[in-house]
Amino acid sequence: MSIPWLTAEVVEIAAETPRVRTIRLAVPGWRGHLPGQHVDVRLTAEDGYQAQRSYSIASPPGEPAIALTVERLDDGEVSPFLTGELRVGDEIELRGPLGGYFTWTVERGGPLALVAGGSGVVPLMAMVRHRAAQASRIPAHLLCSWRTAEDVIFRDELARLAARGDALEVTHTLTRTAPADWRGHTRRIDRELLVEVLPGPGARPTAYVCGPTPMVESVADLLVSLGHMPERILTERFGPTGGRS
């Protein structure tokens, strides 16, 4: 097998939302990654049964530990363990980094049109964090769709990053319920929202769209209909549930 399974040690676990945890892993033998890449995580039960899922890396390159931000899927085989039972000091098996297609570094330039549905923000967060770590001023717009305000991941960090005045803009929209003091958008991502928030096709942005399959396909189709070039629209579909399969 050409890419080895590595043993990673959990060095930190942080709650992002009631359903989402960020797990920091020290991975001896890790060769570095690009923003947008993922790892395969493999769990082995005492009887030998194995379950394997892919998780996007949330941290930028160059940090001593890699961060996976994982949403718990109630009917999942792996995410309930990762978000509920895993403890600091535990070891898990992973392999990676994987997937060179859905990646971005500052060398690729911009502008960037980043669109996330729920935990689809995770690989885009690695790109945004990398951009900030490199002190890049490449124009970048991040549009995030969430069900409720309680589901928003990285809210404070994204607000801080957007306040740096370095040409990053962050927009949130809530699709189910919004608190009374919510001043953002309150609808699914539609044509008007894409026009309002993202750079137009004339700016020749590269779009990265990540989330549940129906959302990703809706956004990608809308971007094409608005005149964006299909070859500049990169998609990462999570499948029907919103979790990685």
38-57 positions binding other proteins, by CB under 8 A: 38, 40, 52-54
Q: Which residues contact 104 (CB under 8 A, 6 or more apart)?
A: 34, 35, 36, 112, 127, 130, 206, 208
Coil, strand or helix: which one is 79? helix
* 242 belongs to the binding site for other proteins (CB under 8 A): no
DSSP state of 21: E
* 239 belongs to the binding site for other proteins (CB under 8 A): yes
Strands (E) across the chain are located at 6-17, 20-26, 38-44, 50-56, 66-71, 91-98, 112-117, 140-146, 168-174, 206-211, 233-237
34 neighbors 61 (Cβ within 8 angstroms): yes
* 99 belongs to the binding site for other proteins (CB under 8 A): yes
Binding other proteins by CB under 8 A: which of 19, 95, 131, 141? Answer: 95
Binding other proteins by CB under 8 A: which of 8, 112, 235, 242? Answer: 235
Binding other proteins by CB under 8 A: which of 13, 162, 224, 234? Answer: 234
Distance, C-alpha 93 to centroid of its chain: 21
Closer CB to other proteins, 170 or 243, in the complex: 243
Site track for other proteins across 101-140, x = CB under 8 A? xx--------------------------------------
Closer CB to other proteins, 17 or 206, in the complex: 206
> How would you classify the pairing of strands 233-237 and 206-211?
parallel
Binding span for other proteins by CB under 8 A among 80-88, 165-173, 184-192, 212-220: 212-220
Binding other proteins by CB under 8 A: which of 96, 117, 120, 199? Answer: 96
Comparing CA positions, the residue from 220, 216, 219, 239 lying closest to residue 231 is 220
Instruction: Write out the residues near other proteins by the rule CB under 8 A.
Output: 1-3, 38, 40, 52-54, 95-96, 98-102, 213-214, 217, 234-240, 244-245
